[in-house]
Amino acid sequence: MGRYALGRLLGIVPILLATSLIVFVVGYIAPGDPVQIMMGDFKDPQAEANLRRELELDLPPWERYGRFVWRAARLDFGTSYVNRGRSVGQIIRDAFPVSASIAAVTTTVALFGGVALGVISAVRRGSWVDRLARFTVLVGVSVPIFVLAAIFILTLALGLGLVPVAGWGKPENYILPCLALASRPMAFITRITRSSMIQVLTQDYVRTARAKGLAERSVITVHALKNASITITTVVGLAFGTALTGAFVVETIFNIPGMGRTAILAVLQRDYPVMQATVLTMTTCFVLVNLLVDLLYGYLNPRVRY
């Protein structure tokens, strides 16, 4: 297990290096000069040269990238181009807990909702419940997140008045964004749970448990679901990743001050240090969560370790 974990851990390094190179190149070739944006209408060649030197924009690209990686490894992303009085680290510390809490709630809703719907669909295979569950899966996979967000706003918020449309700071503000973000991963988890349960329910040990007179609930939860959960574990990372990537859209729609909205504003304002830091931070979180999922899957299924 230790060798397997070490191999997975070392595999993170090239992924993070590739991500850092991509975000640096995007910031380097993106249109617009940060110095001229910060200077505005004030034109002074000497002040412009001093500011360019202060921001290290006068250095060659390979040296700038080396310094960027070295500082990122120490969690030092410099100062915001737009908010000169604030460090990028402080901006990330303010926005990250918001996105992390949304991702955690979204993953929990997707996991428990998808497993429950998949189990019911498999147990009642061919019934109207199964057909309804498969239709729900089709909708969750096919409809984009921003369309679902708009539908939830029109129905639950504006139509019925059950939840607030936007904002942050109250428990009810989680409902609409988490429902929109959880739709797709819950659909995938439902599909995988259903197929895994159908396969497990045909195994001999399940038939033996039923022949012994065990209650159907015990057969489903103890024998069938326990073995099907090994396959379900693999998509938990997907659910968390969907919550992170969908945050760019959902946080903007619902005006939530998280990492996604911060990244969008940084791109619009040409605030490249903030943009690079948010993308790199979210990628690191996604990679670490998938690492934990891989380690858990390797623990539950020893065959993948060899």
Q: What is the mean pLDDT of residues 191-213?
A: 81
What 3-state class would DSSP assign to 203? coil
What pLDDT, on a 0 to 100 scale, did the predictor assign at position 28?
Answer: 76
- Cα–Cα distance between 33 and 234 in angstroms, integer? 43
Query: Ranked by mean pLDDT, which of 56-60, 73-77, 151-155 comes out on top?
Result: 151-155
pLDDT for residue 41 is more than 70: no
pLDDT for residue 304 is more than 70: no
In the chain, the DSSP E strands lie at none
Spatial CA neighbour of 180 closest among 138, 150, 135: 150
Query: Ranked by mean pLDDT, which of 157-166, 176-185, 294-303 comes out on top?
Result: 176-185
Per-residue pLDDT tens digits for 266-296? 888 888 888 888 988 888 888 888 888 777 7
> CB under 8 Å, gap of 24 or more: what pairs does 16-23 form?
16/280, 16/283, 16/284, 16/287, 17/69, 19/279, 19/280, 19/283, 20/65, 20/68, 20/69, 20/72, 20/280, 21/65, 23/275, 23/276, 23/279, 23/280
pLDDT band at 4 (very low <50, low <70, confident <90, very high): low
Per-residue pLDDT tens digits for 246-273? 888 888 888 888 888 888 888 888 888 8
Spatial CA neighbour of 205 closest among 222, 191, 189, 188: 222
pLDDT for residue 238 is more than 80: no
Q: What is the mean pLDDT of residues 194-219?
A: 79
3-state helix, strand and coil shares in percent for the chain, rounded to the nearest 5: 80, 0, 20
Q: Which CATH number fits domain 89-305: 3.40.50.150, 1.10.3720.10, 3.20.20.80, 3.30.390.30?
A: 1.10.3720.10
Per-residue pLDDT tens digits for 82-136? 777 788 888 998 888 998 889 889 989 998 998 889 888 888 888 888 888 889 8
pLDDT for residue 305 is more than 60: no
Q: What is the mean pLDDT of residues 63-80?
A: 84
Torsion over CA of 48, 54, 57 and 58, rounded to 10 degrees?
80
- Cα–Cα distance between 115 and 184 in angstroms, integer? 13
What pLDDT, on a 0 to 100 scale, did the predictor assign at position 301?
Answer: 63
Average pLDDT of the residues of the chain:
82
Point out the least confidently predicted range of 24-33, 92-101, 179-188, 274-283: 24-33
Percent of the chain with pLDDT over 70: 92
Region of 62 please: left (phi>0), alpha (psi -120 to 50) or beta. Answer: alpha
Residue 76 DSSP label: -
Residue 171 DSSP label: G
What 3-state class would DSSP assign to 228? helix
193-226 burial code (b ≥16 CB/10 A, e <16): bbebbbebbeeeebeebeeeeeeeeebbeebbbe
**Domain residue extents for the chain:** 89-305
pLDDT for residue 67 is more than 70: yes
What 3-state class would DSSP assign to 1? coil
Q: What is the pTM of this model?
A: 0.81
pLDDT band at 12 (very low <50, low <70, confident <90, very high): confident
pLDDT for residue 306 is more than 60: no
